[in-house]
Amino acid sequence: MMAKRTSNSIQHLCKYWSLQKYVFTALLLLPLSVRSVPVSVRKGRSSFTIGNCVWVVDRPCPDSEIRFYLFTRSNPDDRQYIHIDESWEASNISSSYFNPAHPVKVIIHGYNADMFLTPLINMKGEYLQRANYNLIYVDWSELAHGPCYPSAVHNTRHVGKCIGQLVQRIIDAGTDNIHLVGFSLGAQVTNYASTTVRPFRLKRITGLDPAMPLFITAAADDKLDPSDAEFVDVIHTNALVQGKIERCGHVDFYVNGGIMQPGCWSSGQNPMACSHHRAPDYYAESIRSLTGFWGWSCQSYIYYLLGFCPQNNLQVVAGEDCQPGTEGMFLITTNPAAPFAIGRWSGFSIPQKKDSVLHKHGLNRDPFISDIDQWGKLDGSFNNADQFPTPYSQDPNPADDDEWPYFNHVGTKQLTKVHIKKILEQDRSRFNGDDRLPVASTLATVSSPTQQSPYDHEVDEAFHLQDLRRRLQQKEASVMQHYAMPMYNAH
């Protein structure tokens, strides 16, 4: 009888057909051993609860369970509560640290989380070290806690409506440079914020692994899509599990295939949760990364599964510096641990299995690549062109700020000194003859005795040419030695 009364109460409260499907889903998720579920109605706030799950029916904004907090360079550690109301006068933006001259970033967490989720808080530090920003964090954790996923999905519409009110007050402050960044279910919230402020169109929305459950068959106005902003960029890291596999933006980046992330199977952690949370991890690193998350183009995910998307030179950068106007699908590979970015892909890549075989036989390069590139010009280290940042050309701060910190927390001055010292040591060892390659005695090679530089700090042209000729001869001898090995002469 008690269960029957509960069912009648639920049917009476579900006034809207769109709400009934979420309630039905919630009841299916309840354990079979539970015979009754406590139901309470908050008439003053137009919501009701089933167990611990809050279902918002028709609440107005502002809502005390949806809070906004501001961080700027003036208050990088102490969050400032922002009250948003129906009018500019009733709101307190004008008396806060908010500066309309600076870009606005609105960061929205997802299901069963809050604004203090580690990668989201990491974004604060990265942004404020990069430049001046108004960082507004949305905390709607009271309407998104577990195990109430169906009710959290239902509440996204209300949360988006209140964020839309925030956007309107920011516009009243004198700026429309607004960028919404949503993670998981928070990425789907951005859609409702966008529809609330129409006909105004947001400048940019970034979706970090947008949530998939209960959004597979959703209509365009009920999920993140390219119509929600002038530019929508999306990063996929846990597709088909917690995130969506389908494209959601003008440009979609599928990192390491978009489903499982490297490094998420270690230390006994949940690989699914780890892969899902890599999306904000990657984005936080991209804010100040000099290396960058570069992706190459792919026509579709089906093409990727069929192996039709090899690495190519049509590459764009993902993350904070993704350029508006970029369109298409792109694939990215990363390192298994931070720093994750590996930069722009270039040249030939040797599959890992083949590379391990080469090292087994003592070879550093594929002999077939050596045949078409005898001098290693396709190698990243040719002519000392190692993968190293160029601090002064990319430093956004004044030149006299020698200790401007990069993502790896190394200052400009220290970074440059280390690099120069490395180059000087390489040159010193070369002039002393330390870099001579071992050559088999059976090979016909031409070697010249090591000569000391005629000057301590300068090298004349004749000495430079002679030294270059010696190194080229040694490279040629090394290639010949590779082909002389028995494994290549067997019939």
Confidence label for 423 from pLDDT (cuts 50, 70 and 90): low
Output 357 or 325, whichever has higher pLDDT. Answer: 325
Cα separation, 487 vs 485, in Å, equals 6
Cα separation, 455 vs 403, in Å, equals 34
Which positions ≥6 away from 233 have C-beta within 8 Å?
A: 204, 205, 206, 207, 249, 250, 251, 252, 253, 318, 322, 326
What's the pLDDT at 306?
92
What's the pLDDT at 467?
72
What's the pLDDT at 356?
41
pLDDT in tens, 178-195: 999 999 999 999 999 999
SS3 of the chain: CHHHHHHHHHHHHCCCHHHHHHHHHHHHHCCCCCCCCCEEEEHHHCEEEECCEEEECCCCCCCCCCEEEEECCCCCCCCEEECCCCCCCCCCHHHCCCCCCCCEEEEECCCCCCCCCHHHHHHHHHHHHHCCCEEEEEECHHHCCCCCHHHHHHHHHHHHHHHHHHHHHHHHHCCCCEEEEEECHHHHHHHHHHHHCCCCCEEEEEEECCECCCCCCCCHHHCCCHHHEEEEEEEECCECCCECCCCCCCEEEEECCCCCCCCCCCCCCCHHHHHHHHHHHHHHHHCCCCCCEEEEEECCHHHHHCCCCCCCCCEEEECCCCCCCCCEEEEECCCCCCCCCCCCCCCCCCCHHHHHHHHHCCCCCCHHHHHHCCCCCCCCCHHHCCCCCCHHHHCCCCCCCCCCECCCCCEHHHHHHHHHHHHHHHHHHHHCCCCCCCCCCCCCCCCCCCCCCCCCCCCCHHHHHHHHHHHHHHHHHHHHHHHCCHHHHCC
What's the pLDDT at 419?
59
Q: In terms of pTM, does the model score above 0.75?
A: no
Of 276, 286, 370, 482, which one is the catalytic site residue? 276
pLDDT in tens, 349-400: 434 333 444 444 444 555 555 555 555 555 544 444 444 444 433 444 444 4
Cα separation, 167 vs 225, in Å, equals 19
Percent of the chain with pLDDT over 70: 63
Cis ω on the peptide bond leading into residue 339 (within 30° of 0)? yes
User: In this model, does residue 22 exceed pLDDT 90?
Assistant: no
What's the pLDDT at 415?
53
- Residues 158 and 59 sit within 8 Å (Cβ to Cβ): yes
- Residues 459 and 430 sit within 8 Å (Cβ to Cβ): no
User: In this model, does residue 257 exceed pLDDT 50?
Assistant: yes
- Residues 334 and 340 sit within 8 Å (Cβ to Cβ): yes
Output 273 or 407, whichever has higher pLDDT. Answer: 273
Amino acid letter at 103?
P
Cα separation, 136 vs 67, in Å, equals 10
* Neighbour tally for 213: CB within 10 Å: 15
User: In this model, does residue 237 exceed pLDDT 90?
Assistant: yes
Average of per-residue pLDDT across 435-455:
42
User: In this model, does residue 172 exceed pLDDT 80?
Assistant: yes
Amino acid letter at 16?
Y
Among 184, 179, 67, 167, residue whose Cα is nearest residue 119: 184
Cα separation, 333 vs 345, in Å, equals 9
Cα separation, 463 vs 457, in Å, equals 13
pLDDT in tens, 41-54: 554 568 889 989 99
Mean pLDDT of all residues in the chain? 78
- Residues 160 and 192 sit within 8 Å (Cβ to Cβ): yes
Look-up of token digits 């499982």? 260
- Residues 92 and 192 sit within 8 Å (Cβ to Cβ): no
Cα separation, 428 vs 421, in Å, equals 10
Q: Compute and round to an integer the Cα radius of gyration of the chain.
A: 29
Residue 7 is a catalytic residue:
no
pLDDT in tens, 278-308: 999 999 999 999 999 999 999 999 999 999 9
Of 139, 209, 281, 467, which one is the catalytic site residue? 209
pLDDT in tens, 200-214: 999 999 999 999 999
What's the pLDDT at 371?
54
What's the pLDDT at 17?
40
Cα separation, 304 vs 312, in Å, equals 13
Residue 276 is a catalytic residue:
yes
- Residues 246 and 234 sit within 8 Å (Cβ to Cβ): no
Distance in angstroms between the alpha carbons of the first and the last residue of the chain: 86
Output 457 or 232, whichever has higher pLDDT. Answer: 232
Residue 33 is a catalytic residue:
no
User: In this model, does residue 148 exceed pLDDT 60?
Assistant: yes
CA 134 to the chain's CA centroid: 20
Cα separation, 347 vs 335, in Å, equals 18
Of 96, 141, 184, 194, which one is the catalytic site residue? 184
User: In this model, does residue 444 exceed pLDDT 70?
Assistant: no
What's the pLDDT at 224?
97
What's the pLDDT at 45?
61
